[in-house]
């Protein structure tokens, strides 16, 4: 009798475990997995502003003013692609390799594009001022807030430290690695 109960329990356990070991690809992704697919500079922040339009107008004015006053693009930015190797945001640091294949490319005409491997997913206008290491990014997507960073160059890597410009609480930090070419899938 005890043997029969034991065998039935064993069979029921095996049956339940085998039902749960199906194809994992059909499972719903958690919000953390979805967040990892967002390009770091596209993460929205909370700020003390009345509208995204108002702070975008501020950033646009600052970029236009600096360009009109003869400030030139910096070759340390425009000569390379940049990969966000690590991102610190909202008290969490990214996992090693989480942003493999991600890139941002700055151009001499004060525009930038960003993407993942061979796919461009966005772009915008930027300005970098060497005298105070301020980098401003204004995405072409009108729903995106402008981002401001203290951008410290150290040869083959650059540290982006979020600034609180335009009323946006940008506490994000990124370690950017210089790349000679746009990354491709292996």
Task: Dump pLDDT digits (tens) for 138-169.
Answer: 999 998 889 999 999 888 899 999 988 887 76
84 assigned to some structural domain:
yes
Sign of the dihedral through C-alpha 41, 42, 45, 47: positive
**Residue 186: inside a domain:** no
Could you tell me the sign of the dihedral formed by the alpha carbons of 163, 164, 167, 171, in that order?
positive
Q: Domain count for the chain, please give it.
A: 1
Q: Is residue 135 part of a domain?
A: yes
Both tokens of residue 13? 């356990």
SS (H, E, C) the chain: CHHHHHHHHHHHHHHHHHHCCCCHHHCCCCHHHHHHCCCHHHCCCCECCCCHHHHHHHHHHHHHHHHHCCCCCCHHHHCCEEEEEEEEECCEECCCCCCCCEEEEECCCCEEEEEECCEEEEEEEEEEECCCCEEEEEECCCCCCCEEEEEEEECCEEEEEECCHHHECCCCEEEEEEECCCCCCC
What CATH number does the domain containing 148 carry? 2.40.128
What are the tens digits of pLDDT across the range 44-100?
655 555 678 888 999 999 999 999 988 888 888 899 999 999 999 888 899 999 999
Within a domain: residue 149? yes
Where in the sequence is the domain holding 127, given as residue range(s)?
45-179
* 109 and 123 Cβ atoms separated by less than 8 Å: no
Whether 144 is in a domain gets the answer: yes
Q: What is the pLDDT of residues 32-49, one digit of tens each?
A: 334 335 677 666 655 555
In a domain, 2, yes or no: no
pLDDT for res 183 = 92
pLDDT at 52: 85
- Considering the domain boundaries, does residue 38 fall inside one? no
Stretch 168-182: mean pLDDT, rounded? 88
Kindly state whether residue 8 falls inside one of the protein's structural domains: no
6 — pLDDT class (breaks 50, 70, 90):
very low
């Amino acid at each position: 009798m005890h043997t029969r109960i034991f065998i039935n329990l064993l069979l029921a356990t095996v049956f339940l475990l085998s039902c749960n070991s199906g194809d994992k690809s059909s499972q719903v992704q958690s919000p953390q997995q979805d967040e990892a697919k967002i390009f770091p500079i596209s993460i929205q922040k909370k700020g003390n502003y009345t509208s995204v339009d108002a702070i975008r107008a501020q950033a646009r004015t600052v970029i236009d003013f600096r360009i009109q006053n003869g400030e030139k693009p910096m070759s340390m930015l425009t000569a390379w692609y940049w990969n966000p190797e690590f991102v610190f945001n909202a008290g969490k640091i990214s996992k090693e390799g989480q942003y493999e294949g991600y890139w941002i490319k700055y151009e001499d005409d004060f525009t930038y594009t960003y993407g993942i491997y061979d796919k461009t997913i966005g772009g915008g206008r930027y300005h970098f001022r060497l005298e105070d290491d301020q980098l401003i990014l204004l995405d072409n997507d009108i729903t995106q807030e402008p981002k401001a960073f203290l951008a410290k160059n150290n040869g083959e890597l650059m540290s982006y430290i979020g600034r609180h410009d335009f009323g946006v609480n940008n506490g994000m930090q990124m370690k950017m690695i210089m790349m000679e070419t746009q990354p491709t899938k292996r």
